[in-house]
Amino acid sequence: MKEKKGSMLKKWFMPYFVIHKRVVIIDLLCASLTTIAELVLPMLVRRITEIAVNNIAELTVRVILEMAALYAFLKGIDMLAGYYMIYVGHTMGVKIEKSMREDMFSHLLRVPLSYYDSTKVGQLMSRITTDMFDVAEFSHHCPEEFFICGLKLIVSFAVLASINLPLTLVSFAMLPLMLFGTLYFRRKMHEVFKARRVIAGDVNARTETSLLGIRVIKSFTQEKHEEKLFKEESTKLSETQKASYRYMARLNSVVRFFDGMMYVVMILMGGMFILKGKITTADYTAYLLYDAMLIAAIKRIVEFIEQFEKGLTGIERFAQVMEVENEKGYSETKQLEKVEGEIEFKDLTFSYGDEKDDVLEHVNIKIKKGENVAVVGPSGSGKTTMCSLISRFYEVSDGEITLDGKNISSLELSSLRNAIGMVEQEVYMFSGTVYENILYGNPCASREDVVEAAKLAGAHEFVMNLPNGYDTFIGERGTMLSGGQKQRISIARVFLKNPPVLILDEATSALDNKSEQIIKKSLETLAKGRTTLTIAHRLSTIKNADRILVLTENGIEEQGSHEELLKLGGIYYRLYNNL
Ligand code: ADP
Ligand code: MG
């Protein structure tokens, strides 16, 4: 377990950390400078006490001033060093946080879609924000605090041992006890904090799914139900929060116990030593001051352990994301030159996971260049899945898909995806302007191209009627547009992309009749000269397809033109006549 953590840190944290080694070194130097003043203070007090006890006449104003000046000088250094530690030290943490956050986001863009089938986006959001912040704090404080504590231990041991060895040995013997006592609780606390993190992410995720569905909630008047669901997550969170504080309190009590023990021993042994004349008053004073400093140092470490735990948990969760493998195909080098658009499914079998049933089994389809093929079939028969496979959103389980005779899994991903345009039932709008949303189809396009694409998609007219035309800001997810308008923008996007292969997956299913008629026309224009795969559940919309495939759970059961299939009197015939 420990080894695993070590290699995790080495792999996922050190590369970000070592870049800043210069800052770390100066930071540690500053840390030593700030401890000097603290370490010198007991010596000064000891000296004053010594002079006062031995010969009060020697304690002149000059001596006192000298000492005060020395201490003031050291404190001045302490101030400057402290400034560096807090400002530059934290800035280093911020830089580390920034690169890790950006790497994580870039990675999230490249993991396979299947990862998102089983991951809550809310969880990922808290990883990118809260977790990375904790890592920043960790990267700066962890080396610093341990270094300061170590330094204080070593120096005070050396000084104290030179004053009185037995007393020093006894008090230092208690420190490991203190440490082991805390270690046990530390481990417990780590587990609870980890659980707390996961649950905090769940609360995020709950908030996200609920509020994104606010329209549904309101229309079904399910506020109470959502409240109940939220309350469940929220209660779970507060329970683990409570548990985490319970462990923190226990840890704290252990520290206080040892702290008390230390003073009891000091009073007992120190008193006896003074009684027997084995230690001077001045030394004893210095002793007490050093002990107070040591206890404070250990307490600080224990307090920081909470932060270190959080940082470690954050790194662990960062590693979990980063260890998800990238989508295959980024490393392929085979680029598609000029795409003709001939698609073939060769004995294709696919399932969404090893344990899941096959969605498609031994499917064979050949779509010629420029052909317009429609797929019909009951819901759940795997039509959308077929589309996803052509774009290689998922990896086929068996068999292969070829584009222009080349196995798509041998092609570089972006060159494959650039060749395919998709219009789906659900349209996603990025928060931004209409113009930006269309430009998404081809970021290099000119303004004229965008307007031209919008005209072809039948979007130009309504866009011009928006308050700011193309520069109208459409709310998050395009809430300001109707379904048909959004669909027209998504079609404009594909016009702009101008791909040789077109996939229309229930593109008009969610629309009313009138919108459907308008959009059907744009889609027909769009399909011209492209290999097109149309999926529709309203059979009237696909009558004109060159070929219709009927997909059922048994695979492609029938195929042919509309007339041929009707003559056949099979599944298509029954579907078409609503039998
Ligand atoms: P269609 O588009 O024909 O209605 P789909 O291709 O969406 O059907 O779904 C085919 C089958 O695959 C269904 O049984 C569905 O439950 C399953 N399925 C679809 N998407 C996923 C997914 N991301 N993970 C697991 N199973 C899925
Ligand atoms: Mg579907």
What's the CA gap between 163 and 50, in Å, rounded?
13
Is 513 buried (19+), middle (13-18) or exposed (0-12) by CB count in 10 A? Answer: exposed
What's the CA gap between 201 and 199, in Å, rounded?
5
Helix (H, G, I), strand (E, B) or coil at 424: strand
pLDDT score for 355: 85
User: Using CA of residue 371, residue 394, residue 332, residue 400, what is the dihedral sign?
Assistant: negative
Ligand 2 center from residue 391 Cα (angstroms): 15
Any ligand 1 atom below 6 A from CB of 380: yes
Same fold: 2-322 with 343-576: no
pLDDT score for 502: 96
What's the CA gap between 449 and 37, in Å, rounded?
69
For residue 386, the ligand 1 atom closest to its alpha carbon is 6
Q: pLDDT tens-digit profile of 283-329?
A: 998 888 888 888 888 878 877 877 888 899 899 999 999 999 998 87
For the chain, the structural domain boundaries read 2-322, 343-576
Ligand 1 center from residue 385 Cα (angstroms): 6
Contact 114, 158 (CB under 8 A): no
Report the amino acid identity of residue 15.
Answer: P
What's the CA gap between 390 and 380, in Å, rounded?
18
Any ligand 1 atom below 6 A from CB of 426: no
CATH superfamily of 2-322: ABC transporter type 1, transmembrane domain (1.20.1560.10)
Share above pLDDT 90 across residues of the chain, in percent, rounded to a whole number: 57
Any ligand 1 atom below 6 A from CB of 113: no
What's the CA gap between 108 and 88, in Å, rounded?
30
Is 399 buried (19+), middle (13-18) or exposed (0-12) by CB count in 10 A? Answer: middle
Q: pLDDT tens-digit profile of 137-190?
A: 999 899 999 999 999 999 989 988 998 888 889 888 887 787 777 777 777 877
Any ligand 1 atom below 6 A from CB of 388: no
Any ligand 1 atom below 6 A from CB of 384: yes
Residue 1: is its pLDDT beyond 60?
A: no
Helix (H, G, I), strand (E, B) or coil at 552: strand
Whole-number Cα distances in Å, 11 to 5, 311, 322, 493: 10, 15, 10, 41
Residue 494: is its pLDDT beyond 90?
A: yes
Whole-number Cα distances in Å, 234 to 122, 203, 206, 240: 14, 6, 9, 10
What's the CA gap between 337 and 411, in Å, rounded?
11
SS3 content of the chain, % helix, strand, coil (to 5): 65, 10, 20
What's the CA gap between 508 and 518, in Å, rounded?
10
Domain 343-576, second-level architecture: 3-Layer(aba) Sandwich (3.40)
Give mean pLDDT, residues 47-69. Answer: 89
